[in-house]
Structures are given as structure tokens and as C-alpha cells.
Structure 1
């Protein structure tokens, strides 16, 4: 589909940042290089104690469409809400400060909204990189699947009005906050589109110090699951899912996905690693600091 670039709605890319000095430049470069012509970037420095703020401010000084906000450390949900309140886009997408977009990510996602005004959310397949390489096993969205486990990446293109209508991010959750958001969001609008082409790159860190890694170590994930179950108890009961049944099914799903991911990594990892280096390494990007 050919896009008419003369009248594209604004997309707000919201990036919460806590101590991502080693990766934030690469993340911002992947946004700056988008083929979609109408976007702004809201970077929220969430109490970072490393050089994240210096790097972001340096880049922002050269890019008129980057807005920098700072707050004391309150977590990614709060930072996402802060960024949203500072944004102006008709469409919103959240991107962590160590992940990457393929150059056509925004263009491809927006095209689905342009094709069908009833669409509420668009996401793409995902490629793992750094500590793990390969296609991430993401099932297609279904109303039942989203109650059992998150099937939508945190980085999905969504509508501003719906995000606001469902109450934004729940700041009580330190883990799985995107899963809980998508439960509310898709109950409001179930028109979800998945793009099979992998246009989002999710970093699995060698250092094992990401929020996901640390929360698993501290067993926060189980607390988050119980919180989500209690908050959406009526929905789970309607689907006949007791808390014991839910945990049993989730364990089975995780086991099956682990088996699938092992297969995909073995047979597809090399191909996706080559694609990643072709798209994102220095020969593809000319550093904005060299201008």
C-alpha cells in the first residue's frame, strides 16, 4: 500500500529510560531512521544514575522532534504515563531504551490503521538479539490467549484515545504491566492486527540485568500474575479459569514455547543475526554525531 505522506497523523514514540547509557543511542537512531514521516519522540529519564541523560540530551539537541522529560525513579509504567501526558500523537508506541525498530516499523504498522479505521492495535513479529538470536515465538492474539499469557509485545502501535479511555498504565505493577494493559485495551477494542514480518528487535542482555531478568530473580512475576488475576477476576471466572487452572496452563504454555524457541534458535538464528547486522550495524547507520 502506498502511503500519502502529505497528511499523515502524528505518532508519538515514548521511551522510558533507566540506566541505558550503553544502548540508548542505538535505540534513538533506530527511531530517527524511520521511513514514516510524521513522528515525535518523548524520552522520559526515569531517575537514571548513569550517563543516559547526557546522551539523550546530546542527541535531542540535534533533533527538533525529540522531547526530553526527567523524573525521579518511579518505574516504567509511571514513565510511560509521564511520556504520554507530554505527547501529542494520535497514535502511541512505547519503546524500551535498549530495543530497536526496523526502519519501516512505524510505516508498516500505521498502514494497517489506514486500511481499516476499526483497528485498535497493531504489532509485528519480533527478533531476539544479543544474548539470544532468532525469531521470538509470539502467538496470534485471541481474547482467551491474552488472559492466559501476554501475546502482544509492549511495543505495539495503539490509539491515543483508547489508551486514555482504559486508564493508561497501571503504576502498581513492577512486572507484566504491558500484559495487564493489553487485557484492558483489547476488551475495549478487540480489532488487533499482527504483522508477520519481524520489524521489532528485542534485546536479551548478556548482563542479565534487565527489568525482566531482575524481576524473575526476585519472584516478582508470580506476585504480578496474582495481582492481574485478582484485578480481572470477573473475566477469568467468565472464561472458567480458576487461579490453579491458570497457573497450570501457563506452565504448560511456557514449556511448549521453550521447546519451539530452541528449535527456532537452532535453525533460524544465523539468518536473523545476519539480517540484524545488515540493518543496524555501522555500515547501515551513519552516526548522527558525524553530521
Structure 2
């Protein structure tokens, strides 16, 4: 049987941590089939990528936001699986290996994992930070109130995008939350592997801190758009 191929996609925009992200992808115990970095119109720090050019696909585009960078990479990916890595985060050594095996064993289209918080110096500040749910209904109910999934822990079967569409580029901050709703409503709920396989960096320059109020407003609008359909699904499941 052919070994599954994994495409790692890294949206990049003026990020000083890109080298650590790339090193973590290149050091995987399950070697990625390809690493695709999409430079979303950066003006600084692109020089940090230069030493890695022989080992990655480096794509440039005008600035359009994370969703557009992800879609640009996914459209060009040729792996069986697509793993999303933010340029300021890191994969742990067995991230791809453990998640691919989990998805193969359970025939999943989308999965996500637990994660650890790290700081600007790459020191762990909180372990196993993802919420863990006692059952599937409680997991679905959580989406009525917020997004329980860290996007940078997610791995997709590439063909799932043909079924549910790509990321919504009109949503600068909640394109992931929107996609999880569409996945759930189309019968492909992201399933959790409860292992911390990603280091998620909290730092002063991150968008979730700088644009908090805007993100909350966009999340509320995204939630309102899908909440009635999700409530109907939960009710049909006896919830």
C-alpha cells in the first residue's frame, strides 16, 4: 500500500519566527512530501526563508490575508493530507506521524489535536491547552458558543475541500471557525486526537491580541450564521 503523502502549508506574513516553523516541519519523524510556504506580501523577514529554498516550495502573492494564503497553498498541494502550520508556531517531532496514523485508522477527513502554549522564547507556558469533551454532543454544543479548535493543529484529507469548499477569504480572522461549521454540517466533523503535537506561540505581535475586538465581532457574526443549522443537527441527534 502506498504511504500517504503529506503537504505542510505555511502562510507567512512578516513573521520573525518562520525559521523555527520551517525547522520543525523539516525535522518530522514522518517526512513531509512537500512544504509550501506562501508569502502573503511580506515586507520584512522574508530573508529568513532563503536558506530553506532548496527544501520547500516558496510562493509569493499580494497581501490578501491568511485564508487567501491557505487557499493558494491548498490549490497547489499534491499530498493526500494537508497540515496547516502557522509561521509563528512549531510542530513537535511526531506530529505528522501520529496524526496521519490516527486519520488512517479511523478513516477521517479532518482531525485536530491538543497543543501546548509557548512564549516568544519558545518556552512552554501551558500544557494540553485544548478543551476535551466527554462526548460528541457536548463537542458540537461548544460550537454554539465559540471555536474549540486550534487551526494550527488541524490536518485535512485534501479531497474534503471539494466537498465543503475552501476557506472563506472574506473572513480575515474566523475563516477557520467558518470552515469547521461547514465541515460539521456536511458530515465531516473534525475529530480530536488528544495528544499535544503543536506548540502554539503567544506573543505581543500575534493577530489575536492586536485585533481582539474585531475578531470577537466577526466570530459572533459567523456563529449567528450557522447556529440555527447546528441547533437543528444537535436536536436530530437527540441533544
Instruction: Report the TM-score, using the length of structure 1 for normalisation.
Output: 0.72
Q: Structure 2, unaligned stretches of length 5 or more?
A: 235-239
1:247 aligns with none
Partner of 2:143: helix, strand, or coil? helix
Deviation of the 1:191 alpha carbon: 5.2
2:2 aligns with 7
**CA offsets, 1:167-205, max 9 Å, x none?**
110111111221111111122234543222211100001
Q: Does residue 1:50 correspond to 2:40, yes or no?
A: no
Q: Does residue 1:125 correspond to 2:114, yes or no?
A: yes
Describe the shift of the 1:237–1:112 C-alpha distance in structure 2 as closer, same or farther (beyond 3 A).
closer
**For the Cα contact (< 8 Å) 2:68–2:169, is it kept in 1?**
yes
CA–CA distance in structure 1, aligned partners of residues 6 and 231 of structure 2: 37
**For the Cα contact (< 8 Å) 1:101–1:199, is it kept in 2?**
yes
Instruction: Report the TM-score, using the length of structure 2 for normalisation.
Output: 0.86
1:210 to 193, 206, 210: 206
Identify the structure with bigger relative contact order (alpha carbons < 8 Å, sequence gap 6+).
Answer: 2
Describe the shift of the 1:42–1:209 C-alpha distance in structure 2 as closer, same or farther (beyond 3 A).
same
CA–CA distance in structure 1, aligned partners of residues 180 and 199 of structure 2: 20
Q: Does residue 1:146 correspond to 2:139, yes or no?
A: no
**For the Cα contact (< 8 Å) 1:147–1:183, is it kept in 2?**
no
CA–CA distance in structure 2, aligned partners of residues 146 and 229 of structure 1: 8
Describe the shift of the 1:38–1:17 C-alpha distance in structure 2 as closer, same or farther (beyond 3 A).
closer
* Structure 1 runs of 4+ with >6 Å offset: none
**For the Cα contact (< 8 Å) 1:9–1:38, is it kept in 2?**
no
Q: Does residue 1:232 correspond to 2:221, yes or no?
A: no
The farther-off stretch of 230-239 and 122-131 is: 230-239
**For the Cα contact (< 8 Å) 2:130–2:148, is it kept in 1?**
no
Q: Structure 1, unaligned stretches of length 5 or more?
A: 1-5, 241-291
**CA offsets, 1:116-162, max 9 Å, x none?**
22x22222211001167012142336222223211221021111111
Q: Does residue 1:30 correspond to 2:30, yes or no?
A: no
Deviation of the 1:237 alpha carbon: 5.6
Mark the structure with the bigger radius of gyration.
Answer: 1
Partner of 2:140: helix, strand, or coil? coil
**CA offsets, 1:200-253, max 9 Å, x none?**
100001xx121111111xx2123212331343253156379xxxxxxxxxxxxx
Partner of 2:229: helix, strand, or coil? helix
**For the Cα contact (< 8 Å) 1:123–1:194, is it kept in 2?**
yes
Deviation of the 1:14 alpha carbon: 0.7
Partner of 1:148: helix, strand, or coil? coil
CA–CA distance in structure 1, aligned partners of residues 200 and 3 of structure 2: 27
CA–CA distance in structure 1, aligned partners of residues 52 and 57 of structure 2: 10
Describe the shift of the 1:226–1:85 C-alpha distance in structure 2 as closer, same or farther (beyond 3 A).
same
